[in-house]
Amino acid sequence: MGHYVPHTDEELATMLASMGLSSLDELFEVVPAALRLASGLDLPDGRSEFDVLDELEAVAGRNRTDLICFAGGGAYDHDIPSAVKRVAFRSEFVTAYTPYQPEVAQGVLQALFEYQTMIARLSGLEVANASLYDGATACVEAINLAVAATGRQTVWLSDGVHPTWRDTVRTFAAGTGHDIVDVPLSDGRTAWPETGEPGALLVQFPNRLGCIEDLAEARKVADRTGALLLVAFDPVASGLLRTPGSFGADVVVGEGQPFGTPLSFGGPYLGLFACRLEHVRRLPGRLVGETVDVEGRRAYVTTLRTREQDIRREKASSNVCTNQTLIAVVAAIQLSFLGTAGLRELALRCARASRYTRESLLAIDGVEPLASAPTFREFAVRLPVNGETIVDRMAEEGFLAGIPTDGGLIVAATEKRTRSEIDAYADAMRKVLQ
Amino acid sequence: MGHYVPHTDEELATMLASMGLSSLDELFEVVPAALRLASGLDLPDGRSEFDVLDELEAVAGRNRTDLICFAGGGAYDHDIPSAVKRVAFRSEFVTAYTPYQPEVAQGVLQALFEYQTMIARLSGLEVANASLYDGATACVEAINLAVAATGRQTVWLSDGVHPTWRDTVRTFAAGTGHDIVDVPLSDGRTAWPETGEPGALLVQFPNRLGCIEDLAEARKVADRTGALLLVAFDPVASGLLRTPGSFGADVVVGEGQPFGTPLSFGGPYLGLFACRLEHVRRLPGRLVGETVDVEGRRAYVTTLRTREQDIRREKASSNVCTNQTLIAVVAAIQLSFLGTAGLRELALRCARASRYTRESLLAIDGVEPLASAPTFREFAVRLPVNGETIVDRMAEEGFLAGIPTDGGLIVAATEKRTRSEIDAYADAMRKVLQ
Amino acid sequence: MTIAGGRATSIPLMGRDEEPTIFELSAPGRSAARFRDQDLPEWSAHELVPADLVSEPLHLSEASERDVVGHFTRLSHRQYSVDLGAYPLGSCTMKYNPKLCDDVASLPGLANVHPAAPAHLTQGWLELLVGLGDALCEVTGMKAITLQPPAGAAGELTGLLLMRAWHEAQGRQRTKVIIPDSAHGTNPASVTLGGYDTVTVPSDERGLVDLEALKAVLDEDVAGIMLTNPNTLGLFEEEIVEIAAAVHEVGGLLYYDGANLNAILGVTRPGDMGFDIVHMNLHKTFAVPHGGGGPGAGPVAVSERLAAYLPGPVPVRTGDGTYAWSTPERSIGRVHGWHGNTLALARAWSYILLNGGDGLRRVAEGAVLNANWVREQLRGHYDIPFDRPNMHECVVSARNLKKAHGVKALDVAKRLLEEGFHSPTVYFPLIVEEALMIEPTETESPQTVAALVEALIRIAEGASEADREAPRTTPVRRVDEARAARQLIPTFDARP
Amino acid sequence: MTIAGGRATSIPLMGRDEEPTIFELSAPGRSAARFRDQDLPEWSAHELVPADLVSEPLHLSEASERDVVGHFTRLSHRQYSVDLGAYPLGSCTMKYNPKLCDDVASLPGLANVHPAAPAHLTQGWLELLVGLGDALCEVTGMKAITLQPPAGAAGELTGLLLMRAWHEAQGRQRTKVIIPDSAHGTNPASVTLGGYDTVTVPSDERGLVDLEALKAVLDEDVAGIMLTNPNTLGLFEEEIVEIAAAVHEVGGLLYYDGANLNAILGVTRPGDMGFDIVHMNLHKTFAVPHGGGGPGAGPVAVSERLAAYLPGPVPVRTGDGTYAWSTPERSIGRVHGWHGNTLALARAWSYILLNGGDGLRRVAEGAVLNANWVREQLRGHYDIPFDRPNMHECVVSARNLKKAHGVKALDVAKRLLEEGFHSPTVYFPLIVEEALMIEPTETESPQTVAALVEALIRIAEGASEADREAPRTTPVRRVDEARAARQLIPTFDARP
Ligand SMILES: Cc1ncc(COP(=O)(O)O)c(C=O)c1O
Ligand SMILES: Cc1ncc(COP(=O)(O)O)c(C=O)c1O
């Protein structure tokens, strides 16, 4: 019970017989006998979908989903319109694969073309790819591009980048041999070294403490040192703030989860990647371009394929093959839903909720700002009790209080947070800190 | 906020201006001033979809959905496969209307043609329509057909038909003037009068007490009196029992909810209607037929339209226009999913669960069978406490115990009920009866 | 007029390859079904029911989940729908329905409730129904409501039975119900089922009820009149107050066919016009999707004096703030096996909450604006039998094209399919020759309405005999309807 | 062979009309977005952030919900997919994914959990991940696992970094990784990113790794070898035990590219063959749908001696039955910003529970049966470079058609689109001229496989120059790929 092979026993027999075989086991005679599993896998037998759904609902019930979310750190609790979910999960998008045959894949290709356009606009750069895995691995790809472009192995990595993203960068640097130099923050902003010859600067905008980095300054440092400026951005910020591209970023990466993807315990999310046109031949991942068919009709196709691993093999710009297309389609739909006015409004509402939360917390005795730099939708506070303890105690009050950091807590608010929720949150914090 | 009219203010102005108007109010100048609402509707302003969903989730939370269901009465708690829900609610099916233009409606038309075929087979008759509202109103239509066919106004209505269905029949008879004669049950089966000249006999199979009526006997009575035999059937029963058609039913109606539609507090459900071919020109509702297009390709179209109200007006066979197409499509998909083997298995499993429940209850002191006739998936017991009270007390134990009836309780079990649930149910009943 | 912005084209991107029936896709012994582990004794058929009742397994189709999903997915690609493009089917109000309403209808707290569960276990549902009922009374200006009728026609018949019960309670024997000649077919059909005779009154040269002709047929046999307002020509019955007075004067009741309620939301109300009984088509006005032909919902609201006759039970709010079922004193009885098309009612309630009072008025404004604009644009290209300000739809005629080129309304409709739009309603109302009844609805943008109008004009300008070949680009071409009726094949088993 | 039962045809019922971009469908000022009532002070942009940072509103598209839904629904009608028909794309395992898995991925209890929430608030997720990890270890015969890698290529690189860390811990400097010439492009690309040089070994005349050639390149510089088994020709590496021994003898590690794991589920295990590191493509073997090119999931399982190096944190079951995160002693560090493509992992877990141990073996049997049957049927119509029992896919060549008619593999692929099927993978593996790599998968019925084979035979028999015109019936015809690269238009804003 439970398997999804449609063949009836009779059909199996007929097919086997037509090949001169008499049992399914004979299909595996090429496998040396010693390697064949004698007694099958040590897994329970299959079950009906109803039994499985019941079990997984029970498992899911052992997560706390009732907590009102003030955590961010690259994963934000946004409202998702019904229309976005329903259209994005149409089975044509869900059950297709990479558009190898463009003639029957114009749906996904055009959606990706629109997605690329939107991400390019959000980043302020000329070209965006069709997705990478997530924000963290997009940083890795950005560094690889920069090192290849500059021929320099040294990367200045701002401490303002999310800690897990920095970890990821370091993990992959063990393979590429890049020299990752940590650059500390000072009062919430990156304090770039005076000297050095980095191939790249990687800075986050706003950074992990929510502070808005000085990208003009970063650009100057990049110009002075001859490095490329890589910016990991919060794409929602572009609804309110100038784009990283407008400050002169060479590569912009980011996490696209805020555009229509639920928190999902961290995945699948969406790695955003955009760069200046001059770097397009080093772009990792897929790129969709507009062209025409033999009858001259507008058509879309994956292009500049010679960068990619399936053609370029060991010399490819990246090893990425399967990426996050469906999540990119989700983002394209969500961004279409928001539109110009909606994106602005979304950013404003995040910023307002964040400011109101910040003011409410700072009104509590013993709560201090962790940095004085301006923030957008996330901010950090110093607390008299350590962050982990606060998160545990606040969970008892019904809140996911934020993300603990050295000496404090990083708190995020989105358009989903209301005054009454924020007031209750501040009251609970007051209680917990007493 | 909240409305779904896409026009921007500028567009409104432009369109108005092009018609020589300067305000939206002017569009309504044909409405006498005295009739125009001065201050709008006394309803709250529109809200965002997120606010509305939150509110309705809260409202929905005030229903008890945790009760394990042993109630039936025409609405059964079946498992619904994910595939059925996902495919049936594709927006092409959901957002189309009656296939007035067959050239662009082959999807719905073919699905209905397949549905008609399946319902005809389940009923054992030659032709089925494309749906009616529900089981109760399908009974009304069957009576209307029979009266028209026989020219006789008297209908023998078995007391074994669900009480709400009988009520509905009586309500509509006030308009048609049909003479509805109630026929009592004797030990769980209809005891037909010896004499009379009815135009129709309406009997339920199995009946409201779960008892399997003697259709051969009913056919004899119909033959003797010259009436048509109308059978309201449980379509799931046809997975195990002979079809009403095989016993000589002239018209078969029923409730199609068991095929893929959740309990839904009673609607939208699905009125099944099938009849012998000789009555096809009296068929209520839509009928889809196979034909060809001008190129000779197989095509489907609604047919015998001249029966219908939009052409025949006051002489139509019925007033039905909008019916339950989407639920019929759901049923077609669910029946395709079940297939020959699955339908049999479904019926067997319902019958087994019902028998096990029955035996478990009858083992309790003071619980007696209400009738001795054989049952299929529903049965009635006599209890020392009245049915309403039992239902209330059993709810405290986590069960929807059944449907109260005079002197007892009608209990149903489906393929969804497991041994452990049934054992717990019987234990709770024992406790409650003490 | 030019409107800035791109056109939302509405090309039906639908394929052209035949799909076999599920029966032809079957292979003996295959099934997608798998069942929950019940852990029960596996009694055989003969152990469960008497042997003479047991049948051989009934033959259905036999396909895997994969093939069932593939089959119906492919069928969906042969189906035009609102979500694919504009659907200006007059009288049907094929507007876009917010997707939120789909999510509401899927809420487990609503979907997983047995209809026989007593009121104290289903307080959420009762609260919802009471909220919806109150709002619909406010929208229509009525006093009480039943939510049981599952569609408009069911509402009509319910209304006629109310009318009958009321007259009978007054001790009157009435025999006739008046309807205008432009009425929808369900009206006369319902009149018959309500046990009345239909008396038809003509429309006048304005397209409105001819008040004098009406008065001429009004007598003590008249139970009431059924009207839509705006009527099926999309025109507002300006003399509705006078009509109401005249009918009431002979002791008749006024029935409002709510199919066209979309046009007047928040602008005016049937109750204020003098109607006694009102049905609503929630699938037209309140965004229940049409489902390929249902399910809909057709609640019936009434004035004070008819409240006691409503079908029961009705959900009510009790003194202590809880909800209960209550059967009106002189109830005509049930008109549905349970409580109506409840999940459809939940959709409608969410739609009302989404739009609010302000939004509902905007609905009417958008609908009326679009429809008037269409009429203005088509003038000179199509005949406009009643060229006066219309409400949410306009009726034009292809008579000019028929005369000049032999191109009928049907040909225009089929040509429009080629242009990527669903066609308008054709040949209704019956009083207009070669009628094209166009209801753009408020959810279509000005760009889409402009594209629709351009297509209609292009068709008129290019009208020729070749149009009888249309449609040429649809999944199938013109379908042989006569053959379907002549050689009836209503099931797969009836195929020759 | 004739098989009873109807054919599940797989005609892509897709339309042929162009759809404008969402930008072209825009009208200034329009938006679908509406927001929750926050009830907060409405601070302006300038009150919220420093003025010099505030931009003008960024220009996106401007469309209503109705037009957004219409646009993407129409786009979906221009997209072939598994749910529309067979998709025999070799190496990609485009099987039908049970719809239950979609419902699992939508469970609010899984979808609404913040990834930074501590373990005691997310016990359900940790339990799920531990259950999945254990099952995948059992399926592959390995000892420990990381679920972080979001796709196969990410898994490869993770594996190579594990290899590197392990060698370094042994104090060894290794420089080379061996891959067969038939390997997938991600293998060499990952090798480079892992800091190694690629050494390619040829396949022998059987299509298998040439053991002697392999031994010739094995030395103390070799960090390891990457293999798929069955390999990309669909052939089982029969000498895998000998290969493993030889590589292990020089201190190298064996890496298993799990793209083809579908073929051996429950039959044999990489761990038993001697592999040290295994990645799985859950989107191929464990029914995570391909999403138009992702997301997938590429967990990496290892043998005992490598467990300490896995990326962390990993979810573990503690002594008291609760779940916690734990970072392996010598972890190479994270390879994902959070815990991997978690909802995809949940899908895979539900698929394993659905099928069970027995069902997974049936998957392999069905896949191998279908693929062998295809090869048998195509013999005589296409060249079969390695005509021996294959596993889950078979590679044939259009060399014969090219020679006789100038019809290339690409032309065959485009012709097959006209026949209603997605095409096989073409020109891969690189070692086969005019390769057509056909993977029918186990979810296609014998009827569908037969229809596919018939179409391929029809194409071979009718091969002619005209095939270069194919496809003629698809939404667009053959696309100018050269022009796309030459005149790059990567965004709407870059259009000339
Ligand atoms: C004017 C009018 N009245 C009544 C009806 C009947 O409504 P329903 O189809 O919901 O039964 C319709 C439906 O098209 C209509 O247009
Ligand atoms: C043999 C083989 N190896 C590796 C991969 C890479 O896997 P992914 O696309 O998940 O990164 C693929 C994908 O097609 C493959 O076929």
- In which residue are the tokens 């003009």 written? A216
| Residue D371 shares a structural domain with residue D337 | no
Amino acid identity of A166?
R
pLDDT of residue D6: 56
D267 with D141, same domain?
A: yes
Q: Give CA–CA dist A234/A347, Å, rounded.
A: 11
- pLDDT, tens only, A159-190: 999 999 999 999 999 999 999 999 999 999 99
Going by their DSSP bridges, the two strands A368-369 and A378-382 should be labelled as antiparallel
H/E stretch holding A180 reads strand A179-183
Residue D14: what pLDDT? 62
Domain assignment present for residue C18? The answer is yes
Specify the residue for token string 């054709």.
Answer: C426
Longest dimension (CA), chain C: 77
Take residue D243 and report the two structure tokens written for it.
């290969």
Residue of C nearest to A3 (CA): C34
Of A2, A295, A327, Cβ closest to residue D295: A327
Residue in this structure with the two tokens 């189309």, named with its chain if needed: B96
pLDDT tens for each residue of B303-328: 998 888 888 888 888 999 999 999 99
Question: For ligand 1, atom 15, which residue shows the shortest CA distance?
Answer: C259
Domains of chain A: 68-78+339-432 (3.90.1150.10), 82-332 (3.40.640.10)
Q: What is the mean pLDDT of chain C?
A: 95
Region C122-141: mean pLDDT is: 98
State pLDDT tens for residues B345-362: 999 999 999 999 999 999
Q: With beta carbons less than 8 A apart as the criterion, state whether D90 and C76 touch.
A: no
CA D155, chain centre distance (Å): 11
* Peptide bond just before D429 cis, omega within 30 deg: yes
Residue C271, SS3? helix
For residues D364 and D388, state if they share a domain.
Answer: yes
E strands present in C214-285: 222-227, 253-258, 277-280
pLDDT of residue D12: 46
**Nearest Cα to B67, choosing from A63, A56, C109, C323?**
C109
Q: What chain C residue is nearest to D13 in terms of C-alpha separation?
A: C15
Same domain assignment for residues C201 and C145 = yes
pLDDT (0 to 100) of residue B178: 97
How far does Cα D471 stand from its chain's mean position? Answer: 26
Query: D378 and D476 share a domain?
Result: yes
Closest CA to D438 of D453, D451, D448: D453
Contacts of A82 in chain B (CB under 8 A): 49, 53
Point out the residue among A4, A82, A87 whose CB comes nearest to the CB of C100: A82
On whether residue C215 sits in a domain, the answer given is yes
Q: What is the CATH number of the domain that holds C384?
A: 3.90.1150.10
Tokens of A281: 């031949």
Which range of residues forms the domain containing residue D325? 99-355
pLDDT in tens, C435-464: 999 999 999 999 999 999 999 999 999 999
Residue C192 sits in the same domain as residue C337: yes
Residue B272: DSSP 8-state? E
Residue ranges in chain A whose pLDDT is less than 70: 1-2
D16 touches chain C (CB under 8 A): yes
Confidence check: pLDDT of D481 > 90: yes
Instruction: Please indicate, yes or no, if residue D59 is contained in any of the structural domains.
Output: no
C328 and C205 in a common domain: yes
Query: Both D274 and D372 in a single domain?
Result: no
CATH code of the domain covering residue C147: 3.40.640.10
Quick check: A249 and A215 in contact, CB under 8 A? yes
Nearest to A319 by CA among D331, D195, D429: D195
Q: Is D297 on the interface with C (CB under 8 A)?
A: no
Contacts of D99 in chain B (CB under 8 A): 81-83, 85-87
Residue A232, H or E segment: strand A228-233
Distance of CA B261 to the CA centre of its chain: 10
User: Rounded to an integer, what distance in angstroms lies between the CA atom of residue C65 and that of residue A149?
Assistant: 51
Question: Which of D27, D30, D34 minimises the CB distance to B49?
Answer: D34
Which ligand has its closest atom nearest to the C-alpha of C187?
1
At residue D486, the pLDDT reads 96
Based on the fold, state whether residues D349 and D460 are members of the same structural domain.
no
The shortest C-alpha distance from C443 to chain B (Å) reads 5
Mean pLDDT of chain B: 96
pLDDT at residue D2 in the model: 53
Is residue C91 in a domain? no
Nearest-CB residue to D26 (from C6, C11, C63) = C6
Intra-chain end-to-end CA distance of chain A, in Å? 57
Q: Taking a contact as any Cβ pair under 8 Å apart, which residues of chain C between 47 and 106 contact chain D?
A: 62-67, 69-71, 73-74, 77-78, 83-85, 96, 98-99
- Which of D355, D383, D415 is the C-terminal boundary of a domain? D355
Tell how far the Cα of D211 is from the centroid of ligand 2, in angstroms: 24
CB contact under 8 A, A82 and B416: no
Of D9, D67, D78, which has the smallest distance from its Cβ to C8's Cβ?
A: D67
Longest dimension (CA), chain B: 83
In 3D space, the residue among A289, A283, A345, A349 whose CA is nearest the CA of residue A317 turns out to be: A283
Ligand 1 binding pocket mutation candidate from C92, C93, C182, C184 (most atoms within 8 A of CB): C184
Domain boundary among D337, D355, D373: D355
Amino acid symbol at D67: D
* In a domain? residue C428: yes
Is D394 part of a structural domain of the chain? yes
Give dist(CA A240, CA D24) in Å, integer. Answer: 24
Query: What CA–CA distance (Å, rounded) separates B176 from A73?
Result: 69
Chains within contact range of chain A (3+ C-beta pairs < 8 Å): B, C, D
pLDDT (mean) for D8-13:
51
Q: Which of C165, B163, D55, B53 has its CA nearest to residue A343? A: D55
Predicted-complex ipTM score: 0.97
Protein residue with least CA distance to atom 9, ligand 1: B322
Per-residue model confidence as pLDDT tens digits over D335-370: 999 999 999 999 999 999 999 999 999 999 999 999
Which ligand is the nearest neighbour of the Cα of C154? 1
A66 to chain B, any CB pair closer than 8 A? The answer is no
C12-50 as b/e, with b when 16 or more CB fall inside 10 Å? Answer: bbbbbbbbbbbbebbbebbbbbbbbebebeeeebeebbe
- The pLDDT value recorded for residue A307 is 80
Closest protein CA for atom 7 of ligand 2: D152
Quick check: A86 contacting C, CB < 8 Å?
yes
Helix (H) or strand (E) holding B181: strand B179-183
pLDDT-based confidence at residue C3 (cuts at 50, 70, 90): low
Q: Measure Cα distances from B153 to B143, B165, B173, B180 in Å.
A: 9, 19, 10, 8
Q: Which residue of C has its CA nearest to D355?
A: C34
pLDDT digits (tens, 9 = 90+) for C200-224: 999 999 999 999 999 999 999 999 9
Domain boundary among D311, D327, D355: D355
Please check whether residue C436 is in contact with residue C413, taking contact to mean a CB–CB distance below 8 angstroms.
yes
Question: And the tokens for B317?
Answer: 């066979």
Whether C71 contacts C19, CB under 8 Å: yes
Q: How many CB atoms lie within 10 A of CB A56?
A: 24
- Tell me whether residues C34 and A82 touch, CB distance under 8 A: no
Concatenate the DSSP letters of all residues of A79-110 into one string: ---HHHHHHHT-HHHHT--S-SSGGGBHHHHH
Distance from CA of C130 to the nearest CA of B (A): 12
- In chain C, whose CA is at the least distance from the CA of D419? C17
Cβ <8 Å between D73 and B91? yes
What lines the ligand 1 site, CB under 6 Å? Answer: B 321-322; C 91-92, 151-153, 184, 186, 228, 232, 257, 259, 281, 296, 298
Separation of alpha carbons C247 and C214, rounded Å: 9
Based on the structure, what is the number of domains in chain C?
3
By the CB < 8 Å criterion, does A49 face chain B? yes
Same domain, C311 and C366: no
Q: Which helix (H) or strand (E) segment is D340 a member of?
A: none
Do C135 and C215 belong together in one domain? Answer: yes
In this structure, the answer to whether residues D300 and D443 fall within a common structural domain is no
Question: Does residue C388 form part of some domain?
Answer: yes
* pLDDT at residue A406, as a whole number: 87
* D186 CA from centroid of ligand 2 (Å): 7
pLDDT at A176: 96
Predicted local distance difference test score (pLDDT) of residue A310: 80
Least confident of C232-246, D18-32, D157-171: D18-32
Say yes or no to pLDDT of D8 above 80: no
Instruction: Output the CA B193–ligand 2 centroid distance in Å.
Output: 76
Structural domain contains residue C309: yes
Substitution site in D95, D158, D184, D231 for ligand 2 pocket (most atoms within 8 Å of beta carbon): D184
Distance CA A162, CA C50 (A): 71
